[in-house]
A = this chain, B = another copy of it.
Amino acid sequence: MTKIAFIGIGNLGFPIALNLIKAGYDVTVYNRTPEKAKPLAEAGAKLASTPQEATQGKDVLITVLADDKALLGICTDAAIESLGAEGLHISMSTISPETSRKLSIQHQQFGVDYVAAPIFGRPEAMAARIGNIAISGPNQAKEDAKPLILAGAAKGIFDFGEDPGAANVVKLAGNFMISAAIEAMSEAYTMAEKNGVSRQDISEMFGQTLFACPIYQNYGKAIAVNKYDENVGFRLPLGLKDLNLVLDTALLGKTPMPFANIVQQRLISGLAKGREHWDWTGLAQGAADDAGL
């Protein structure tokens, strides 16, 4: 059975690692905070005390990390060399396309294939293996990665070609579109409330009609009641990290994105108001604040 080094067991990584263990894969986990890995060890995972020890002699490295810096910290030459020629790295973090492109070149020096496979979906969706993944990188490497992605996290895999940064572009575009939907709902429901119309009623109508899709239905519930510190799936500072990546990528490609600018400012303002423990949906509170609610 394929031997996997799994690095990064936060909200998203943990259920993916657990699914792979349950599916019978030989999984070795490294995490900066070893405590968090204990339940995985009880489920059958081996534990490693360094990234290099984790990758040694494995077929595949899977990473699910918080940001570019954390991933670059793991991907030392030693750790990638330790994975060995014909190794495969499935990189599932939300990072900049440029980082994926640079890592792909570094990996090639050691004969390792790099596949970008960032995840759409909250932790519950990972646990249920109903996430959606954008994937890009060398064709054979993507084929090798697919069974592991299906076993660990996703029902849908969408191929965006061989540029290792392409899947990261798609992930950033998607998170930006989610953030824009949050701000749009917030402005609309705030205008409604100021005109005596119930936020809940309008959210329910749109969730059943024009916008009958999970993003509007699920985020809409929180925005309808203006409550963002419960069911925190993805914290506000992580949302800001993603919008920063969106705008960095937009700048590199010379693409003005005025909606992305506004959402970024909402997230910065959320931090200024002490909302770092809120779900990122809480960027919606900005429009209500501005309207004196």
Which residues from chain A sit less than 8 Å from chain B, CB to CB? 97, 120, 132, 134, 156, 158, 160-161, 163, 165-166, 169-170, 172-174, 176-178, 180-181, 183-185, 187-192, 194-198, 201-202, 204-206, 208-216, 246, 249-250, 253-260, 262, 287, 290-292
- When A181-B181, A206-B177, A259-B184 are in contact, do A195 and B213 touch as well, CB less than 8 Å? no
Q: Return chain B residues, CB-CB under 8 Å to A258.
A: 187, 262
Write out the residue numbers on chain B whose beta carbons fall within 8 Å of the beta carbon of A257: 187, 190-191, 287
Contact status B259-A259, CB under 8 Å: yes
Asked if A173 contacts B194 (CB within 8 A), the reply is no
Q: Which residue of B165, B177, B194 is within 8 Å of A184 (Cβ)?
A: B177
- By a CB distance below 8 angstroms, the chain B residues around A211 are 177, 181, 213, 215
Q: How far is the CA of A65 from the CA of B287 in the complex (A)?
A: 32
Question: A259 to chain B: closest CB distance in Å?
Answer: 6
| A194 CB contact (under 8 Å) in B132, B161, B205, B254 | B254
Known contacts A174-B210, A194-B254, A210-B213, then 18 further A-B pairs from the complex at CB < 8 Å, ordered by chain A residue? A132-B205, A166-B195, A169-B191, A173-B189, A173-B192, A173-B202, A174-B206, A177-B188, A178-B210, A180-B181, A187-B255, A187-B258, A194-B253, A210-B214, A210-B215, A211-B215, A256-B290, A259-B259
